[in-house]
Chains A and B, each alone.
Chain A
């Protein structure tokens, strides 16, 4: 069983839509949860991270963690064509801060 599962998409939405991206995980010990954005032919860049449960908001982006369901989400409000990218979730190994478990990424296309 994979540590992290993520729907690969692709997800296609019109500009201005609210986007919901999700990941599930199997290890209840995970505490740090990250979302990366990766544009084509680029490396991933960190969007947001959260520690433990709850919500975190940064501009149009909201990250949500539900530890009881082992489920994390990233919401994008008022989506823009520039948000078109692959979004990767990741979790840090609680016993080895050098080790991260990544989802396979969800490809998002925001149509103008």
Chain B
């Protein structure tokens, strides 16, 4: 089982609240990712990081922000939650490509199910 953790697992909050979803991994992976997953829909990449002090936006337009101050930690923050943010948020990490033709395997955390009322 992958050593990647997410807290909280479930969160119900009111509109306008600021929240931070935590993600930690103990595998020493350089790359980390945040995905959004809605029922019956594909995973959408919202943020990723190549390593410490590196963050990039993914394809899905998101009002969230991320930071990567430590290798093992990649929190996601919503400054003002809205009902449209209700979703499952998945964090993942990978060791990164080790060379041309190699595969970048991702390990997923258990997810945080967020409900915004």
A interface residue numbers (CB < 8 A to B): 2, 4, 6, 8, 32, 36, 41-46, 49, 51, 88, 90, 92, 97-105
Contact = CB atoms under 8 A, between A and B. Distances in A.
Interface string B21-57: 0000000000101000000111101001010000010
Contact of B110 (A42, A98, A104): A42
B41 A104 contact: yes
Say what secondary structure dominates the interface of chain B: loop
Contact of B40 (A8, A44, A92): A8
Most chain B CB atoms below 10 A, which of A2, A6, A44, A103: A44
A100 B44 CA distance: 9
A97 B42 CA distance: 18
Interface stretch (B12-20, B64-72, B75-83, B96-104): B96-104
A2 to B, nearest CB: 8
B101 A44 contact: no
A49 B105 contact: yes
A42 B111 contact: yes
B71 to A, nearest CB: 16
